[in-house]
Amino acid sequence: MKRSALAGLFITAAMLASPVFAAGDKDLCDINLNKINDGKATLATDSTGKSGEIDTAVASAKAAHAAGDDKKCIEITSKALQDLQNSEKGGQ
């Protein structure tokens, strides 16, 4: 049973990750920025200062994107998305 569940999780993860790898760097940067904008609504009542950090990250990511450095944009937005998810779970 454990092997079946583990295999199922692995297959599911592989299938979910494949569109990410298929997308170009520019597309992934845009996708991440859209996800952040959607997730910022959950921080509307945030008192920890995460909202300001996320806004700063978005500004940096947009600047990197405008400069053509999509890899840097993806790096910044991925970290911001992780921070956003941690905030939603109650983490710091």
Q: How many domains does the chain have?
A: 1
- At 40, the pLDDT band (50, 70, 90 cuts) reads confident
Residue 58 lies in a domain: yes
Residue 46 lies in a domain: yes
Residue 9 lies in a domain: no
Residue 84 lies in a domain: yes
The boundaries of the domain holding residue 78 are 24-88
Inter-residue contact 84 to 39 (CB < 8 Å): yes
Residue 16 lies in a domain: no
Tokens representing 92 are 């710091």
| Euclidean distance between CA atoms 38 and 13, whole angstroms | 23
Residue 11 lies in a domain: no
Query: pTM of the prediction?
Result: 0.66
In tens, the pLDDT along 7-17 reads: 666 666 555 55
In tens, the pLDDT along 44-92 reads: 666 666 778 888 999 999 999 999 998 999 999 999 999 888 877 765 5
Residue 49 lies in a domain: yes
Residue 3 lies in a domain: no
Report DSSP letters for 29-56, one per residue: HHHHHHHHHHHGGGGTT--SSHHHHHHH
